[in-house]
Amino acid sequence: MAIDLQSRGSIDLELTIKGIKGLFRIIVLYALYRLHEAHGYAIRSFISDLLGIYTPSSGILYPTLRELEKSGLVTSTWKNRRRVYMLTVRGCEYVSNRLIEVENTISKIKKALNILTSIGFFELMRVIRELWEYNVEISPRVLENIKLRVDEITKILSDIVTGRSE
Structure confidence at residue 5 as a pLDDT band (50, 70, 90): very low
pLDDT tens sequence across 17-44: 567 788 899 999 999 999 999 999 999 9
Domain count, the chain: 1
Output the pTM of the full model.
0.77
pLDDT at 61 over 70: yes
Q: How many angstroms separate the CA atoms of 48 and 56, rounded?
A: 7
Q: Would you say residue 120 lies in a domain?
A: no
Structural domain for 72, as ranges? 5-98
Q: Would you say residue 58 lies in a domain?
A: yes
Q: Would you say residue 45 lies in a domain?
A: yes
Q: Would you say residue 143 lies in a domain?
A: no
pLDDT tens sequence across 93-131: 999 999 999 999 899 989 998 999 999 999 999 999 999
CATH of the domain at 55: 1.10.10.10
Q: Would you say residue 30 lies in a domain?
A: yes
- Taken as a whole, the chain contains a residue count of 166
Query: What one-character-per-residue DSSP string does 37-81 give?
Result: EEEHHHHHHHHHHHHSS----HHHHHHHHHHHHHTTSEEEEEETT
Query: What one-character-per-residue DSSP string does 85-149 give?
Result: EEE-HHHHHHHHHTHHHHHHHHHHHHHHHHHHHHTTHHHHHHHHHHHHHTT----HHHHHHHHHH
